A = this chain, B = another copy of it.
């Protein structure tokens, strides 16, 4: 019985872990070919979103963003974060810090209908709590625009 209980506990633990990871996205391999939406910089290293940010949209997300329409299932955004370099009068992109992703997913009910995820400079998924690290801020700050912060700048 003891072994069985342990086995059941292990399986339950695995199921729980899988469920918790269900809404996290792997790296979207082609995101650097998507359309650049805009960029921004947070120079303060103590800020939670420190870095040089470049934001990209796949074709479905770009179309909805530009038309201010609802995002269709599967629409994707990516944000690349780099260290901020200073070279004379220029602020530039240094080493990659991470890539973050959001993809419209009706099953991601706990995170507002978007799945979130992030990967490190090596492309491997980061073990983050996407509800706290991504969703909460998007839900608070971008509720009126379908949880999307960025505007497309022509």
Q: Which A residues fall within an 8 A CB radius of B?
A: 32-33, 35-36, 38-44, 47, 52, 54, 56, 82, 89-93, 96, 153-154
**Max count, chain B CB within 10 A of own CB: residue among A32, A44, A82, A153:** A153
Pairwise interchain contact B89-A40, C-beta atoms closer than 8 A = no
Pairwise interchain contact B36-A54, C-beta atoms closer than 8 A = yes
Question: Chain B nearest CB: distance from A114 CB in Å?
Answer: 22
Given A91-B91, A93-B153, A153-B93, the answer on whether A56 and B44 have CB atoms closer than 8 Å is no
Given A89-B44, A153-B82, A154-B96, the answer on whether A35 and B32 have CB atoms closer than 8 Å is yes
Pairwise interchain contact B154-A32, C-beta atoms closer than 8 A = yes
